[in-house]
Amino acid sequence: LSSFAMPLVRIETSAKLSADDRTKAMKALTKSVAAALGKPEPYMMILLEDGHSMMFGGSEEPCAACSVSSIGRIEEKINEEVCAAICAALADVGVKGERVYVSFSDYPPANFGNNGTVYSKIFAARNAASAKQ
């Protein structure tokens, strides 16, 4: 069940994006990151904040700091695919891949919540319901 839960991609970039570019990037990220993680798109959350004051390597050329949080599916091969997907989406809006950092966090189900509860409880309830069928 954890394979279906809560990927969150948070991106902060110095690039100033139009509303159309922001929407286009978030839609592309939803599709490509969900595919790389093997998680359904309806569970994906993308947070994209543009126009930040940022510097990378002493330059103010557009850059981005990204984090990917998930319950499971955080491992080297998958992380590389996710990183490539993020860099491709950002390149489409003017941020070069070499100016992007991506960090990955694998959360235990008890440490991530939704709808007033935590995923460990959600998974336990789903397992109990499945056992009754």
Active site residues: 7
Q: What is the dihedral of CA 112, 116, 121, 127, to 10 degrees?
A: -110
With tokens 């960090």, the residue in question is: 103
95 near 52, Cβ under 8 Å?
no
76-91 helix and 19-37 helix, angle to the nearest 10 degrees: 160
With tokens 């902060």, the residue in question is: 12
> How many other CB atoms are found less than 10 A from the CB of residue 30?
19
